[in-house]
Chain A
Amino acid sequence: MLLSLRGISKRLPGSRGPRPALDDVSLEVQRGQIVGVFGPSGAGKTTLLQIAAGLQAPDRGEVLYDGEPLHGMSSAQRTRLRRREIACIWSQPQRSRLGVLEHVAVPLLVDGRGHRGAQRRAREALLACEVEHCAPAELRELSDGERQLVEIARAIVVEPRLLLADGPASSLSLVEQEAIMALLGTLAHEAKVGVLVAAGDAEALIGAEPILYLNEGRIAGCAPARDATIYRFPDRPRVAAADG
């Protein structure tokens, strides 16, 4: 198993003392599998991904990466993993003046790879995400859709084994969301990368299997979803906009 989260609990500081952000969450991602997690904002999706990335430690439970406890490693080892094997896409938008090609090459440059090779591989990753035409542009010049594809290119440029994506298609149209998910699906199935992807709505997770419903820090439902596009859970309102 590539990634196992076992009984993860985490409390985060809140305005009225610590509040549970995650409560006994378990899930697994194998190579070639794309697992979706959806839930309203504040449900704990980002915390879950940060713990899976080793950026936060759980209060209880453990994260196994390739069978090894992630939080038993030194922080240098975890950093090394994040540079080479575990790629992350966070949802905050990039509006910097950095050029697209540089932005995509950064993870390789940070890891000490040569400039020329990093550029070549960044271009290849952009091509694979069909945004190579954006290479000479600046990040802030891109459309939302292009920017998300560029973020995926930046994540896969290191040729990771695990991809953690926090709302990679949020703020995009349904068609664009589907395109992003199709790309992540291809990445999982053809590159044998394990993908854990979070979104506000199940509709944004087409192609993921399983799709887990996270609410108030708990896994509240699971859908083995192959062809359905609307998922029903007893305690979840149908109207996506209610998620705020």
Chain B
Amino acid sequence: MSAKHALLGLLLERPAYPYQLADRMAQRLGPAWKVNSGQLYQAVKALEKDGLIERVQAAPEHEERHVFGITEHGVAEFERFFSAGTQGVRLSRRPLLVKITFAGPQKLQEALEKLDAYEQDCARQLAQTARLRDELPQDGPLVRADHLLLRLNLSADVSQLEGELRWARHAREMLSWLASRDAIWPSERERADPQPQSPAARERAGAQARRELFGRMAGSQPGEDDPPASGRAAASK
């Protein structure tokens, strides 16, 4: 989702400079919400244009910069967003899976390498996110709600990364196994050994196959009520 409502949420708490908003986003919601300054200024500009935020009095020591606060309209928009139904779980469409699915036998090894890289990335991000979560200061006698909520957000990321990592390992095992098998591939015909397509060519190939197969069958089963295998059957053996 866009950062629009997250920014409104931050400004609902207190006015802030745009650069403060960028820091606070990641601090409150976790690394998934990191935005660069370009994206941030664009978002702030759009919010201001829509009348959801406005420039408020700057603190004396930062006179040259603008401090933004939320407008009444912005508060109403946040309320609307909050009360609207939350979208259910949405499965992600992974480009990696598209690559794996259509790699075919020839590119399977390459797909495996991509999967390896994905697995390593998952592991790296998981370690980072888990460290962020674990490094959150333990609260003293007073509970810090923002700490607890950030922990919650980081846990969501950790859980997802753990799931991805588990999947990536499983997928690697499955693909390695598949690579070692003589499997049937849906597109095998086009890849390996293109077969004749025209009816006439198919007929010719069929006649050839029948000569070989049927000749072999006739040759392999001499019976008491038949003459010896015919010359053609014998020749095709």
Residues of A whose CB lies within 8 Å of any CB of B are 1-2, 30-32, 66, 99, 101-102, 115-116, 119, 124-125, 127-130, 132-133, 135-136, 156, 159, 161, 186-187, 190-193
User: What is the interface residue range for chain B against chain A?
Assistant: 20 to 34
8 interchain pairs (CB within 8 A)?
A31-B226, A119-B184, A124-B213, A127-B208, A128-B209, A128-B213, A156-B217, A192-B233
- Within 175-218 of B, Cβ neighbours of A (below 8 Å) are at 182, 184-189, 195, 197, 202-203, 205-206, 208-218
B197 contacts A191, C-beta separation under 8 Å? no
Set A2, A101, A132: member contacting B205, Cβ < 8 A:
A132
B146-188 Cβ-contact flags toward A at 8 Å (1 or 0): 0000000000000000000000000000000000001011111
B214 contacts A128, C-beta separation under 8 Å? yes
A130 contacts B223, C-beta separation under 8 Å? no
B221 contacts A190, C-beta separation under 8 Å? no
Residue B64 CB within 8 A of the other chain: no
B213 contacts A156, C-beta separation under 8 Å? yes
Cα–Cα, bound, A166→B208 (Å):
27
Which chain A residues lie closer than 8 Å to B209 at the CB level?
124, 127-128, 132
Q: A31-B221, A102-B184, A133-B197 are in contact. Are A190 and B215 (CB under 8 A)?
A: yes
Set A119, A132, A161, A190: member contacting B214, Cβ < 8 A:
A190
Cα–Cα, bound, A186→B182 (Å):
32
Which chain A residues lie closer than 8 Å to B139 at the CB level?
none
A191 contacts B184, C-beta separation under 8 Å? no
Q: Which residue of A lies closest to B212 (CB)?
A: A124
Cα–Cα, bound, A30→B226 (Å):
9
Residue B13 CB within 8 A of the other chain: no
Set B182, B188, B203, B221: member contacting A130, Cβ < 8 A:
B203
Which chain A residues lie closer than 8 Å to B221 at the CB level?
31, 161, 192
Cα–Cα, bound, A2→B221 (Å):
11
Cα–Cα, bound, A135→B221 (Å):
28
Set B187, B206, B216, B223: member contacting A127, Cβ < 8 A:
B206
A192 contacts B205, C-beta separation under 8 Å? no
Which chain B residues lie closer than 8 Å to A129 at the CB level?
206
Which chain A residues lie closer than 8 Å to B205 at the CB level?
127, 130, 132
A101 contacts B184, C-beta separation under 8 Å? yes
B217 contacts A192, C-beta separation under 8 Å? yes
Residues of B whose CB lies within 8 Å of any CB of A are 182, 184-189, 195, 197, 202-203, 205-206, 208-218, 220-221, 223, 225-226, 233
Q: A31-B221, A133-B189, A186-B214 are in contact. Are A116 and B206 (CB under 8 A)?
A: no
Which chain B residues lie closer than 8 Å to A159 at the CB level?
213, 216-217, 220
Known A127-B205, A136-B185; 10 more pairs at CB < 8 Å: A1-B225, A31-B225, A119-B182, A125-B213, A128-B206, A132-B205, A133-B195, A133-B202, A156-B213, A191-B218
B195 contacts A132, C-beta separation under 8 Å? yes
CB distance from B101 to the nearest CB of A (A): 15
A193 contacts B217, C-beta separation under 8 Å? yes
B182 contacts A116, C-beta separation under 8 Å? yes
CB distance from B148 to the nearest CB of A (A): 50
Cα–Cα, bound, A156→B182 (Å):
23
B182 contacts A135, C-beta separation under 8 Å? no
Cα–Cα, bound, A186→B203 (Å):
14
CB distance from B88 to the nearest CB of A (A): 30
Q: Which residue of B lies closest to A67 (CB)?
A: B224
A191 contacts B217, C-beta separation under 8 Å? yes
Which chain B residues lie closer than 8 Å to A132 at the CB level?
195, 202, 205, 209
